[in-house]
Amino acid sequence: MRAGHTVLLAEVTPSLEGPSVLGPLVGARGAGTEVTPVEPGLSFLRISASAGHRRFLEDVLPLRLMADAALRSRALRRFLEAGPSLRELGLMYQMLDLVRKTGPNGRFLYPLCVMDLPATGHALAMASLPRAILSLLPGGPIGRAVREGLELLQDPVRTAVLLATLPEPLPVSEALQLASEVRRLGLPLAAALLNRMPENPFPTPASRAALNTLLAAHGPHEGSRALYRLEVAETSRARLEQGVAAPLLSLPDLLASGPALVDQLASALLPLNARLSQKEAP
């Protein structure tokens, strides 16, 4: 929005029964699977497998009433929820449906869609879905939808994967694993984002040497824990930067919460995004 874009923020939700994590942060508390305008230039919704299954059935069955009748079948709902890869298929189809929606003028309703995927395991399942489905159902409406989704996901002009993690050993290990899998699947990894990076008050070798001299003379102090966290964060950032093979963006550890936190993070991201765009320019 700060850059003048119309943004649709979509939170991929394992279950609609639990509360939304992103909704309250952007002022969309209580939003569901329908697109909810939040403010000029920003809309929000939660993506769920059941909503994607409904949209798929509405598209392939001749009448919407038939889709409603099909989803009233408890056996079919259980099959769609428990069948191999079918849950991920529902999530992907709803994302695909949002991306390709157009208005009366033929323009895309949501030219910039930001999809927040859940934890690493779910993200890997989503990323590997197209090949898993196509190996079982290469033709028919499911095969066509999956091929369209695969083309979208692998197109570096229309899709960019942003890998978010924390400056800690285990999250960085998971991020590197996910980055490797993303590349193996042919998805365009645009950048890695290191969130909640602590500020380093001793950024130069001289200031750090002076600190070490002070610590050697006076022993442990109340800031030892913060210094240890900083060392772990710096080591984790170096490891991520070396292993991810993509531009690395760092966001500070902020005390704000709710929409104020989002506003501060947006302000911090703008100059980082500008530098990233300059690196990508020919």
The rounded percent of the chain whose pLDDT value lies above 90 is 25
pLDDT of the residue at 240: 97
Domain assignment present for residue 208? The answer is no
111-129: pLDDT as tens digits: 999 999 876 666 666 667 6
Tell me if 205 is assigned to some domain. Answer: no
| Mean pLDDT, residues 155-181 taken together | 93
27: left (phi > 0), else alpha (psi -120 to 50), else beta? left
- pTM for this model (two decimals): 0.80
Tell me the per-residue pLDDT of 211-262, one tens digit each, with 9 for 90 and over. 777 777 776 666 677 888 888 999 999 999 999 989 999 998 888 888 888 8
Indicate which CATH number applies to the domain containing 15.
3.40.50.300
Q: How far apart, in whole angstroms, are the C-alpha atoms of residue 97 and residue 52?
A: 8
Q: For residue 87, what pLDDT is reported?
A: 77
Total domains, the chain = 1
Provide the sign of the torsion angle of the four alpha carbons 219, 220, 223, 226, taken in this order: positive
In a domain, 228, yes or no: no
Residue 154, domain member (yes or no): yes
Report the distance separating Cα 66 and Cα 59, nearest Å.
11
Give pLDDT, residue 169: 96
**Within-domain flag for 218:** no
Residue 273 resides in a domain: yes
Q: How confident is the model at residue 281 (pLDDT cuts 50, 70, 90)?
A: very low
Q: Where in the sequence is the domain holding 93, given as residue range(s)?
A: 7-199+246-280
Rounded CA gap, 75 and 61, in Å? Answer: 18
